[in-house]
Amino acid sequence: MGSFSSPHFVIFPFLSQGHTIPLLHLSRLLRRRSVVVTLFTTAGNSPRIRASLRDTDVSIIEIPFPQNIDGVPPGVENTDKLSVESSFLPFARATEQMRESFEEALETLQPPVSCVVSDSFLWWTAKSAQKIGVPRLGFFGTGNFSATMYQILGRFRPHAGVDSVDEPFPMTDFPEVKLTRNDFEPPFGDINPSGPFVDFMMENGFISMGMSDGLIVNSFYEMESRYVDYWNKNLGPKAWNIGPLCLAAKPLPESKSTGYLQWLDEKWEKKEPVLYVSFGTQAEISPEQFLEIAQGLEKSEVSFLWALKSKDLDFLEPEFESRVKGRGLVAKEWMDQLKILQHEGVKGFLSHCGWNSVIESISAGVPILAMPFMAEQHMNARFVAEEVGVGLRIMPRGGTVRGHVAAEEVEMKVRELMGGGKVAEEVSKTAAAWGGAAHAAMQEGGSSWRSLDLLIDGMMGKFTD
Cβ–Cβ contacts within 10 Å for residue 271, how many?
7
**131 phi/psi in degrees, rounded to 5:** -60, -40
- What does DSSP say about strands 169-171 and 174-179: parallel, antiparallel, or unpaired? antiparallel
pLDDT of residue 256: 52
Q: Are residues 34 and 179 in the same domain?
A: yes
- What does DSSP say about strands 36-41 and 59-62: parallel, antiparallel, or unpaired? parallel
pLDDT of residue 460: 83
pLDDT of residue 156: 96
Any domain includes 2: no
Q: Are residues 293 and 244 in the same domain?
A: no
Any domain includes 455: yes
Q: Are residues 211 and 333 in the same domain?
A: no
DSSP label at 28? H
Between CA 433 and CA 453 the distance in angstroms is 25
pLDDT of residue 1: 40
Any domain includes 254: no
pLDDT band at 416 (very low <50, low <70, confident <90, very high): very high
Q: Tell whether the model's pLDDT for residue 4 goes beyond 60.
A: no
* β-strand partners of 11: 39, 117
**pTM score:** 0.95
CB 372 within 8 A of CB 366: no
* For helices 221-230 and 447-459, angle between their N-to-C axes, nearest 10 degrees: 50
Q: Tell whether the model's pLDDT for residue 270 goes beyond 50.
A: yes
Question: In 37-76, where does DSSP find H-type helix?
Answer: 46-52
Cβ–Cβ contacts within 10 Å for residue 251, how many?
6
Any domain includes 465: no
Any domain includes 135: yes
The sign one gets for the Cα dihedral 371, 375, 378, 381 is negative
Q: Are residues 88 and 115 in the same domain?
A: yes
Mean pLDDT of 187-193: 93
- Which 3 state secondary structure label does DSSP give 256? coil
Which structural domain range is residue 146 located in?
8-249+443-459
Q: Are residues 203 and 223 in the same domain?
A: yes
pLDDT of residue 2: 41
DSSP label at 111? S
User: pLDDT digit string (tens) for 399-411?
Assistant: 899 999 999 999 9
Any domain includes 3: no
Mean pLDDT of 153-158: 95
Q: Are residues 197 and 324 in the same domain?
A: no
Amino acid letter, residue 442:
M
Q: Are residues 236 and 293 in the same domain?
A: no
Average pLDDT score over the chain: 93
User: pLDDT digit string (tens) for 102-135?
Assistant: 999 999 999 999 999 999 999 999 999 999 999 9
Q: Tell whether the model's pLDDT for residue 159 goes beyond 80.
A: yes
Between CA 433 and CA 430 the distance in angstroms is 5
pLDDT band at 254 (very low <50, low <70, confident <90, very high): low
- Which 3 state secondary structure label does DSSP give 119? strand
Q: Tell whether the model's pLDDT for residue 64 goes beyond 70.
A: yes
Q: Are residues 239 and 270 in the same domain?
A: no
Residue 148 zone, left/alpha/beta (φ > 0; ψ -120 to 50; rest): alpha
User: 413: which residues sit within 8 A by CB, 6+ positions away?
Assistant: 369, 392, 393, 394
Q: Tell whether the model's pLDDT for residue 255 goes beyond 70.
A: no
**369 phi/psi in degrees, rounded to 5:** -100, 110
Mean pLDDT of 338-360: 97
Q: Are residues 279 and 238 in the same domain?
A: no
pLDDT of residue 257: 56
pLDDT of residue 250: 80
* β strands within 194-302, DSSP E: 214-217, 239-241, 274-278
User: pLDDT digit string (tens) for 195-253?
Assistant: 999 999 887 777 888 899 999 999 999 999 999 999 999 999 999 999 999 999 887 66
Question: How many Cα atoms are found within 13 Å in the side-chain-facing hemisphere of 197?
Answer: 11
Between CA 243 and CA 341 the distance in angstroms is 17
Q: Are residues 412 and 353 in the same domain?
A: yes
Q: Are residues 276 and 383 in the same domain?
A: yes
CB 329 within 8 A of CB 309: no
Q: What is the CATH number of the domain that holds 69?
A: 3.40.50.2000
Q: Tell whether the model's pLDDT for residue 463 goes beyond 50.
A: no
> In a 10 Å sphere around its CB, with 0-12 CB exposed, 13-18 middle and 19+ buried, how is residue 465 labelled?
exposed
Any domain includes 1: no
What's CA 12's distance to the chain center, in Å?
16
Q: Are residues 220 and 111 in the same domain?
A: yes
CB 456 within 8 A of CB 381: no
Q: Tell whether the model's pLDDT for residue 10 goes beyond 90.
A: yes
pLDDT band at 259 (very low <50, low <70, confident <90, very high): confident
pLDDT of residue 464: 37
User: pLDDT digit string (tens) for 24-47?
Assistant: 999 999 999 999 999 999 999 999
Mean pLDDT of 338-354: 96
Between CA 303 and CA 324 the distance in angstroms is 9
Question: How many Cα atoms are found within 13 Å in the side-chain-facing hemisphere of 410?
Answer: 26
pLDDT of residue 332: 81
**How many structural domains comprise the chain?**
2
Any domain includes 332: yes
pLDDT of residue 462: 43
Residue 241 zone, left/alpha/beta (φ > 0; ψ -120 to 50; rest): beta
